[in-house]
Amino acid sequence: MTVVASSSPPVGTIHGVGLGPGAADLLSVRADRLVRGARHVAYFRKAGRPGQARRIVEGMLRADVVELPMEYPVTTEIPLTDPRYNDCLAGFYAECTARLAALAQAGEDVVVLCEGDPFFYGSFMHLHARLSGVVPVAVVPGITGMAGAWNATGVPITWGDDVLTVAMATLPEDELARRIRDTDALVVMKIGRNLPKLRRAVAAAGREEAAWLVEHAAMPGQTVTRLADATSVTPYFSILLIHGRGRRP
């Protein structure tokens, strides 16, 4: 009996690769290998900007790389509570999924560059949920941005039995104040234009003197400032920290 070999190429893999907090030398060995060897590299960015993930890997990509920028249709133009926001992003992620799945089904591997860790408040999660079960998907963990931030302060974020809370500055002000008040150690992300609200919530919780702002952790231009001394509106790449003071020998 003659066996006819299939002419279909093997299905490629979509790799969600964590790049860490911002410095190329904080990538894992696995992430570094995948990034340098990738024929197809995809990454999220705002329209008209190169993108933070793409900046991290500058100088690392092979000469014949095919870049696939995925530009967000909205960022802050539509309020999060407006149904149009989810509708717009759902369509965007569906389109990105289709592009990546088509490449994988044609036998191509694709590296999706992910700031921090792919499974920690990242956009890649929305692709992963749509691609899983359709094409092979693999995830390479990365150092989170918050780890880069608390290391920038030179002070441990938790001790002993401290409870660490991670919150988004997009939460309602009273909810923020409650969570700041009820935890030992705190990380607040997605600050940007929410800084005035966050200041009020920290003050209401009585913890303003213990709060720090870290901007561009592990990136060029990193700054570490007490919240009480911060005068300007911080960019998106900012994290607020309150260090725990728990049990220690």
Span 171-218, pLDDT tens digits: 999 999 999 999 999 999 999 889 999 999 999 999 999 999 999 999
pLDDT band of residue 3 (cuts 50, 70, 90) is low
Handedness of CA 217, 220, 223, 224 (dihedral sign): positive
Please state the length of the chain.
249
Instruction: For residue range 226-235, list pLDDT tens digits in order.
Output: 999 988 766 7
- pLDDT, tens digit, for every residue of 130-172? 999 999 999 999 999 999 999 999 999 999 999 999 999 999 9
Domains, the chain, in order of start with CATH, read: 14-143 (3.40.1010.10), 146-242 (3.30.950.10)
The predicted structure's pLDDT at residue 231: 80
Token pair listed for 47: 């329209």
Alpha helices in 39-154 (DSSP H): 52-56, 83-105, 124-131, 145-153
Q: Which two tokens stand for residue 70?
A: 């995925």
Percentage of the chain beyond pLDDT 70 is 92
pLDDT at 38 over 90: yes
Cα(168)–Cα(75) distance, rounded to whole angstroms?
A: 15
Q: Is 140 left (phi over 0), alpha (psi -120 to 50) or beta?
A: beta
Count of H-run helices and E-run strands, the chain: 7, 10
Q: What is the pLDDT of residue 1?
A: 57
Q: Are the C-beta atoms of residues 185 and 162 closer than 8 Å to each other?
A: yes
Q: What is the pTM of this model?
A: 0.90
68 strand-pairing partners: 42
Q: pLDDT tier at 48 (50, 70, 90 boundaries)?
A: confident
Supply the mean pLDDT for the chain: 92
CA distances from 144 to 88, 110, 187, 210 (A): 27, 22, 12, 22
- Amino acid 234: pLDDT: 67
| Largest distance between two CA atoms of the chain | 81
**Nearest residue to 54 via CA among 14, 139, 132, 111:** 111
Nearest partner of 25 among 60, 52, 71, 49, judged by Cα? 60
**For position 75, what pLDDT does the model report?**
61
Place of tokens 């901007």: 215
The residue that leads in pLDDT, 209 or 7, is 209
pLDDT-based confidence at residue 220 (cuts at 50, 70, 90): confident
